[in-house]
Structure 1
């Protein structure tokens, strides 16, 4: 018998129960009934709650990887945001620190300028303002450079002051700049007057004295009336410095039995290391009358032949 003629249907003995079409209709009607009953009477609510309670651990386990991934992403994002915030805070702190430093510097400069303006009103000698731009590179001298030169009318030998007292003297003049030798330079000397006693002397620079440099009164007798705290001013006998300008204050007096002279150390009243704004005075010698020419000696009469 050919294979195509075989009957593959189930025998009548195994055909039991309703037909598939009847089962489909029954299940569809049951489903419809349950949906209507659930909508109207909520008959499946307890069953749904029971199933949700039973399935909650499985749902929790299934959601853990998603939550861990979300928390990890949030952690890294928050960490990056925190780092960016910290960097921005440090940058702002640096900016505020710079601004605070600039504000303090401006306040200090304003105070110096006010003192210079007050000093200029009290000075009778012509003066002009200048600014210290840098110190010279020579480690064996104490000199600074000003931003005023020959074109601004600065003359060699002109006295230079800050708001407190005499700072130094112009020793070299360039077209746009000028060099000032400070009073504490080893080669600098200035005639001074003891304001308490009226005694005149000469103060020399002492780079090794004090903190950053000082001055010394040389060739002063050991019995001279000099005390600590005496204020020394310019005497005006040199023809360069106007009289009465503060120069230094005596800080230590040493008298030795084996020496006829006393060692007198002084501290300049001007700010030698941090002066920024100064006044350049006109040398007094420019206002002094010219020295008269010596008159020739008259011939003697009745001299020996």
Structure 2
């Protein structure tokens, strides 16, 4: 082929088609047509359904990390809420338990106070109520401290009772408090009367300090004393009014090698755990003092004027 017959013009770098303006107008009209047609006839609804169906697994997989993060956050929030609710419930239960215990204690205390008031009405001796503050620190004695002292008119030797019977005797008096020695103390003695037989005796505190009991001493081995006998104050000591319940006989041991019986008694008063007591005035303060003797006139002197 001769060289002169070839086309020497270079090929275009870009193939020329419709202009950009023509494309813009075409696609704008097409988009407007599709929007109007979809709004009036819903021609794109099947296409959207198909696309949504195809893309749902992809969306589900893409949303799983977000769901896991939200689920973990809710789990920890619910865990904290549950722990807070559990702590609040335990605290409420503890408070209710404490209130229940206080109700039981208050009911018991109320019943004892009623019994103490009933005893106060039966006792004609002047008395006053007191509260036990604490036990004495000495472990070798049986003493308690009450909240009444010299200011309240308490005197040494005053009998102390609870709702069941004689508890002890005031041995030391301070301005605001007093020390009460219980009937079970080894140094305490109280004259008693057997209400069944009328026999008198003296009850002493337990010397062993191992049990809260009394011992009725110096009773003959053949004395008429039986378990269950009620011992009351005899009133011969001038301290305790007669007829106050003291103890009840628990055991009587008669030994051939001793002239006296060993008699163990249980105090009727609550010697351990008592809270409210009644302090009486000693009988010695209520006895009318003996009138002063009138002076006896002496013999007339000799030489005295008549």
* Cα drift, residue 184 of structure 1: 0.4
How far does the alpha carbon of each residue in 1:18-66 deviate from its partner, in whole angstroms, 9 at most, with x for none?
A: 3332222222221111111111111111111111111001100111111
Q: Does 1:173 align with 2:173?
A: yes
Q: Give the number of equivalent residue pairs.
A: 284
The change in CA–CA distance for 1:14 and 1:161 in structure 2 (over 3 A counts) is: closer
Partners of 2:125 and 2:46 lie apart in 1 by 109
| Paired position in structure 2 for 1:62 | 62
Alignment of 1:6-85 (within 5 A): 11=11, 15=15, 17-85=17-85
Moved more, 111-120 or 230-239: 111-120
| Paired position in structure 2 for 1:235 | 234
| Paired position in structure 2 for 1:271 | 270
| Paired position in structure 2 for 1:298 | none
* Cα drift, residue 81 of structure 1: 1.2
Moved more, 95-104 or 120-129: 95-104
Stretches of structure 2 that go unaligned for 5 or more consecutive residues are: 1-9, 294-306
Aligned 8 A contact 2:186 2:209 in 1: no
Compute the RMSD of aligned alpha carbons: 2.0
Partners of 1:157 and 1:13 lie apart in 2 by 133
| Paired position in structure 1 for 2:159 | 159
Aligned 8 A contact 1:207 1:214 in 2: no
Moved more, 272-281 or 29-38: 29-38
Partners of 1:185 and 1:27 lie apart in 2 by 116
How far does the alpha carbon of each residue in 1:107-136 deviate from its partner, in whole angstroms, 9 at most, with x for none?
A: 222212211111111111111111111111
Aligned 8 A contact 2:140 2:209 in 1: no
| Paired position in structure 2 for 1:260 | 259
Aligned 8 A contact 1:160 1:169 in 2: yes
TM-score by length of 1: 0.88
Aligned 8 A contact 1:194 1:233 in 2: yes
Partners of 2:251 and 2:290 lie apart in 1 by 40
TM-score by length of 2: 0.88
Aligned 8 A contact 2:151 2:175 in 1: yes
How far does the alpha carbon of each residue in 1:218-269 deviate from its partner, in whole angstroms, 9 at most, with x for none?
A: 1211111111111100011111000000000011111122222111111000
Stretches of structure 1 that go unaligned for 5 or more consecutive residues are: 1-9, 295-305
Aligned 8 A contact 2:160 2:278 in 1: yes
The change in CA–CA distance for 1:293 and 1:202 in structure 2 (over 3 A counts) is: farther
The change in CA–CA distance for 1:14 and 1:292 in structure 2 (over 3 A counts) is: closer
